[in-house]
Structure 1
Amino acid sequence: MTRATPARGAAAQGLPRDVRGKRALILASARALFIQSYERTTMDAIAERATVSKATLYAHFAGKEDLFVALVEDEVEALRQASTATGGRADFSVEDRLMRFGTQLLELTLKSDNLALLRVLIGAGQRFPALTQRVVDSVRAPIRSAVVQLLEQAVAAGELVCDDRRFAADFFMRIINGGIRIDCLLDERLRPTPAQIHEHVGLCVQAFGLLLQARNGGPAGTTGPPR
């Protein structure tokens, strides 16, 4: 039997309200079970926890791998939408936009549930390599695209010079998450305060501006220290 293709990200927003409600309930139930163990979680257990029939569950998702990926995609879609709204603000400087995006990205990364899911993914990665690849693709591509779009808007406005937006986006993503994510994966008591997050992102934006200066041959039209 061919199962329905699951609705993803922004497409899910167009579903009827009652269908969106069931989808949200299924995802919340799956999240709670996945945090305990991906390998031991079954579609039966998810259906039971969500109090939906298996037919309803499979009408939304083809399997638990799709469910896990959907959890990730929904989080990233929320970040992408916030980035699009910020990127369109003409009253924000490029430094302000990078600060806002970097802060939103780090806060998303450091959410307790997301850290827990990442630990599960790391533990299950060798046994489920296809899942790992799908999650990486679901996270990296849309976030990179959001940063590239932000940079393209800044270049078009004459705020900075950046010939290789893809390289710059990858660099920005890596320095934002950096060692902070590793620290929190090992011990959530190391989670930074909002003030520490602001300071870290500010330093990343400064480093990002210095990278652009070095790659583009001079300070003209590049980012400066965040305000």
Structure 2
Amino acid sequence: MSRPVVTAPKPQRGRPRDPERVRRILEAAQRHFNQHGLERASVDAIAAEAGVSKMTVYSNFGSKEGLFQVVVRDRTAPVVAGFPGTGALDPGQPEQALLAIGARFLALARGDDALGALRSVYGVAGAQPEVCRAFYKEGPERVNGELAAYLRRANSAGTLKVQHPLKAADLFLSMFLGSAHIRGLLKLEMPDTRENKALLREAVRVFMAAYGA
């Protein structure tokens, strides 16, 4: 399991925060939320594993829900950060750009951080709308927007014909969220490298057939 990225929660009054203590709380919380979900995870158990008091958890994060939001945010951040900046990709070479974008997105979507964050968020859908909204905005919406921006540039360059960039971006990324993605969410056997490369080539081929100039 990868170590969560420690970002400072909303400042509270009182003693200054100890970054190492915050890191231990977040790591313990991530494990407990993964194993038990938001409702059944115990703040007492999280505090005990982190080696702090229950009041320390509350003074740093306000509530169990507040702690959950920070855990989800910190799991989402490295996933989105790993998506390639599309501004550097050549709009004159859309096939190569889509291969690069698709390969990175596929690796991210199949990674433990992304799958773990999705499992956590799905578990509180409806009960924690602010968590779900934040995850969607910082994750899927941001990635889709990055790709749509590239598609607009390729359309302006005349190498792609894309009337609705956001819809086209959504269609392209959705091709990597099929049965194998569901298997990952269910912690079943995942495709090997050969299968992933074949999926990538086919996704780019289908997209270019639909939108190629």
Q: TM-score, normalised by structure 2?
A: 0.71
Cα 1:119–1:95 shift into 2, 3 Å: same
Q: How many residues align?
A: 197
Quote the Cα distance in structure 2 between the aligned partners of 1:72 and 1:26: 14
Match of 2:183 in 1: 183
Q: Tell whether the 8 Å contact from 2:80 to 2:139 is kept in structure 1 after alignment.
A: no
Q: CA separation of 1:113/1:74 partners in 2, compared to 1, >3 Å: closer, same or farther? A: closer
5 Å-filtered alignment, 1:16-35, equals: 19=19, 21-35=20-34
Q: In the aligned structure 2, how far is the partner of 1:53 from the partner of 1:94?
A: 54
Q: Structure 1, residues 197-225: CA drift from partner, whole Å, max 9, x if none?
A: 1211221122222332xxxxxx42xxxxx
List structure 1 runs of 4+ shifted beyond 6 angstroms. Answer: none
Please name the residue that 2:77 is paired with.
77
Displacement of 1:159: 3.3
Kindly report the root-mean-square deviation, in angstroms, between the aligned alpha carbons of the 2 structures.
Answer: 3.3
Matches within 5 A, 1:122-161: 122-125=122-125, 128-130=127-129, 131-161=131-161
Render the CA deviation track for 1:77-121: whole Å, top value 9, x for unaligned: 334333344541449933233223222222222234543554454
1:44–1:54 CA contact under 8 A, matched in 2: yes
1:164 aligns with 2:167: no
- Paired with 2:70 and 2:92, the residues of 1 have a C-alpha distance of 32
User: How far apart in 1 are the matches of 2:82 and 2:162?
Assistant: 23
Are the equivalent residues in 1 in contact too, given 2:91–2:159 (CA < 8 A)? no
Q: Quick one: distance in 2 between partners of 1:133 and 1:198?
A: 32
Q: Is the 8 A contact 1:151 1:162 kept in 2?
A: yes
Identity of aligned residues (%): 28
**Mapped contact 2:61–2:67 kept (Cα < 8 A):** yes
CA contact 1:110–1:181 (8 Å) conserved in 2: yes
SS at match of 1:176: coil
**In the alignment, what sits opposite 2:9?**
6
CA distance in 2, matches of 1:94, 1:78: 26
Deviation at 1:166, TM superposition (A): 1.1
The amino acid across from 2:101 in the alignment is F
The structural deviation recorded for 1:160 is 2.1
- TM-score when scaled to structure 1? 0.67
Distance 2:76 2:149 in 1: 15
Which runs of 5 or more structure 1 residues have no equivalent in the other structure?
A: 8-17, 213-218, 221-227
Matches within 5 A, 1:207-226: 207-212=206-211, 219-220=212-213
1:105 aligns with 2:105: yes
**Equivalent-residue separation in structure 1 for 2:178 and 2:75 (angstroms):** 19
Q: How has the CA–CA distance of structure 1 residues 97 and 62 changed in structure 2, closer, same or farther, with 3 Å as cutoff?
A: farther
Structure 2 unaligned residues grouped into runs of 5+: 1-7, 11-17
Q: 1:76, 1:142 within 8 Å by CA — same for their partners in 2?
A: no
